[in-house]
A and B are shown apart, each in its own frame.
Chain A
Amino acid sequence: MRRFQPAALATAVALGSLAVSAASAQESDTYAVTGATIHTVANGTIENGTIVMRAGQIVAVGGPDTAIPAGATIIEGTGKHVYPGMVDAFSRLGLTEIGAVSATNDQSEMGDWNPHLEAYQAIHPASEHIPVARANGITHTLAAPGGGTISGQATLIHLDGWTVEEMRIEESAGMVIDWPSVGGGGRGFFGGGGNQDRSFQQRLEQYEKDVTELDEWFAAAAHYRQATEAGSDRVTRDLQLEQLARVLDGSLPVIIQANDERQITDAIEFAEKWALDLVLAGAEESRDMASTLAEKGIPVILGPVQRLPSDRDAPYDEPNTLPGVLHDAGVEIAFATFNSSDSRTLPYEVANAVPFGLPHDAALEAVTLSPARILGVGDRLGSLETGKTANVIVADGDPLEITTQIEYVFIKGVPVDLDNKHRRLWEKYKNRPAKATTT
């Protein structure tokens, strides 16, 4: 995977004074960025700092005196800023290519009960969306399935790798449940979920039926686990129950997509009943439950800040203020796009919460270390600390600011190619010879 091409990079972005010098053989697996402002996220900011990466890991983070191993490829980073790679904490990267073309969509399957399906098995490493996202500093993502009630298992991947096996961080990082909804809100392109013609009472009855059925699946999984653990030879192997049972001992987090108050309240109650390791996703109407979420230690993966307020009477800035409210209450928050084509602009969505109450440091943490902790890899990713996987970005400023250019992206300690479909088309067409005026 050694695809580091300084020349190509130099044409792609204005690198300014940034220079790369290989102090030894090209095959070095050691890189150092020196003289830069290092935003560790975990341990504050180091001015004139050095970070050293070797064999995929961060091996040193410190001041100008930090020792650089012989043979390291050195990036002179004066005036540059180094950050942990950013995370889209719930995306469809690798699972969908063109929204309107069903042949390119693999994120959802038929049926409502799919605990045995894994996003891992459908991830397309050559998706054009992946290089587009990582060129803007997104280094890993939770690629999550959708559809049905139990949608399947989400996969945590690096946004680089020849195969999904090379991309894999956690093949199964969470069981995704799309919590049933009473509906009536008119979401979706054609303005509704097909339940508009039913009364509220009818929709409420359907909702309760759906939740009961979900509960029955969990009961069945619990019985299945009891039986198999007891060594019964009369149990036929059932992949659905076998996989669902993994969430019952808390070893696999359950990521429940829930937006309105009823959904969130019921999801929390359900998770407590089954002792689940709950992560909420979406949580648009969680404002009034912030202290409850904090007390119970339930983290939240928020969707785009650039969305419309929940209803006509809601304040214009309701989506902008929610992250700050949750943060102030002590809720651990991360951010997600819930799609693939917008991943690159996730940092700007997060930035939109900052002038409305989310502290800047908290915003940065919410796209780096918080999602790592929420997804169970806080010991390996999300901050610039010795021993962590070297997913690192070098930028000419704050990556949450639109006009900042990302100059280097390291994934697993290797600088990845920042070229992508968009940049290639730009290069090609901006250099189109001027059209002859007459023919």
Chain B
Amino acid sequence: MSRSRILALGLSLGLAGGVATQDPLAAQEQPVLVTGATVMTASDAGRIENGAVLFENGRITAVGPASEVDAPSNARIIDATGKFVIPGIIDAHSHIAADAINEGSVAVSSMVSIMDVIDPTDIAIYREAAGGVTTSHVMHGSANPIGGQNAIIKHRWGADAEGLLFEGAPPTIKFALGENPKRSNFGGIPGIPDRYPQSRMGVMDVIRQAFAAATAYKAEWDAYDARVANGDRNAIPPRRDLQLEPLKEILEGTRYVHAHSYRADEILQLMRVAEEFGFRIHTFQHVLEGYRVADELREHGAHASTFSDWWAYKVEAYEAIPYNAAIMTERGIVVSINSDSGEEGRHLNQEAAKTMKWGGMTEEQALAMVTINPAIQLNIQDRVGSLEVGKDADLVIYDNYPLSSFAKVRTTFVDGEVVFDVERDMQMRQEMVAERERLLEMLGEAEETEEADETPGSPGTGSGNGGTR
């Protein structure tokens, strides 16, 4: 699918140069009106039958009943009668588009960042867009009690690594509890030595030790900052510690903790450790036994991002239940359903629907779990997560009801630009076949030429000497 990336790049270049494009779907600066669809807004407006969404320059400019949304005369109009429109899906826990996931050699890897290893050529960016995903939280792995810094990306297929990053998104960091950081299921791998911690006691200790150090580090900086503020010109700044700096940010409330967790007891203990040091666990990830400590989660002020129905792959997942999201929602927690997988990320709409079956969530609650709720968990709810005026034009057109096992995505927009369209995909496939044939033909001709050139006595421009290719 590298072709699609080339195509997308070509289009954006074309626009930059003011060249009219043949593909009207990609015309970013032209207002676009998607009309006639059932619009599921994931906002207070709820579901709008025969609704319309108007967007321009990457932002939504109107949402409402089709009869009330007037398109500018130059607008491109997409007749979506009989179809459904939802906000772009947000995956609060992903590992796509990264060259590396775990720095597992140390128990505290807060100095490393996924932002340094974004791979903009990962086909998963496109394939998940084909499943309606427009924003992903690309997380460090769960090998360490305190893991690395994460990246939030938009599925701008064709953009470079920097261009994928969700500009202005508040920074986050990964923590991890339980079997993964204590390396329970990774024994016997040649070349991988044992590493502290090996128990849930040790996991909590690592976190507590790190925050004891971070608290002291912050005090040093606070003292220095106070001296500077008082006009002390002789103040010497403390040495920057890149491992402690992100933890200092956590203590200052400018970096948000996303903690991989399974069992209820470890969830509770981490909240208490955080409270001891005066910070908050912003979102528990996986949190498969969150249903057992839902009131405690709400009291602490934590959000929860969980799987729809995975269970029994390891001991700490044996009491996972598909009702988890529903119980936590009913206890007042902001809950999202995440993928943790480049495959699962292709059908998060269906994973959300499972909360309607198991736990009786309403359509609005289920949709929120893959749109506005993960936006809240990533602190980007002012930009994305619902179809509201002023928000980014990240939206998905489905051929049919999205919270269904029969749902199929037609078109996905990011910043008002088409990143996936089912018909364009079909067209690109045909172009790929044609190009492959053309290249094979060229190869055949080249080989014939080479054979001719390499006959004895000919001057030979041939292969093997480098230079010409």
Contact = CB atoms under 8 A, between A and B. Distances in A.
Interface of A: 14, 97-101, 128-129, 190, 306-309, 312-313, 315-317, 340-341, 344-345, 347-348, 351-352, 354-356, 400-405, 421-423, 425-426, 429-430, 432, 434-435, 437
A403 B357 contact: yes
B389 interface: no
Contacts of A317: 130
14 contacts: A14-B360, A98-B312, A316-B346, A344-B309, A356-B408, A400-B405, A400-B406, A402-B357, A402-B404, A403-B356, A403-B403, A405-B357, A425-B291, A432-B295
Contacts of A316: 1, 126-127, 130, 346, 425
A104 to B, nearest CB: 9
Most buried by A among B312, B344, B353, B425: B312
A422 B312 contact: no
A436 B417 CA distance: 50
Given A309-B127, A401-B404, 17 more contacts: A99-B312, A99-B313, A312-B2, A315-B429, A344-B309, A348-B350, A352-B347, A352-B405, A400-B405, A400-B406, A421-B319, A426-B291, A426-B327, A429-B294, A429-B327, A434-B295, A435-B295
Contact of A401 (B126, B179, B406): B406
Contacts of A97: 312
B317 to A, nearest CB: 8
Contacts of A437: 299
Contacts of B343: 306-308
Interface residues of B, number: 56
A235 to B, nearest CB: 42
Interface of B: 1-2, 123, 126-127, 130, 179, 184-185, 189, 291-292, 294-296, 299, 309-315, 317-319, 321-323, 326-327, 330, 342-344, 346-347, 350, 353-354, 356-360, 399-400, 403-408, 425, 429, 432
Contact of B405 (A14, A315, A348, A430): A348
B183 to A, nearest CB: 12
B406 A351 contact: yes
Nearest to B316: A100
Contacts of B403: 402-403
A128 B357 CA distance: 20
B314 A426 contact: no
B12 to A, nearest CB: 21
A144 B341 CA distance: 27
Nearest to B408: A355
A94 to B, nearest CB: 13
Contacts of A101: 314-315
A311 to B, nearest CB: 9
A422 B321 contact: yes
B318 A98 contact: yes
Contacts of B321: 421-422, 425-426
A43 B353 CA distance: 32
Contacts of B400: 355
A400 B404 CA distance: 9
A99 B315 CA distance: 8
Nearest to B322: A422
A75 B234 CA distance: 88
A307 B127 CA distance: 12
A306 B347 contact: yes
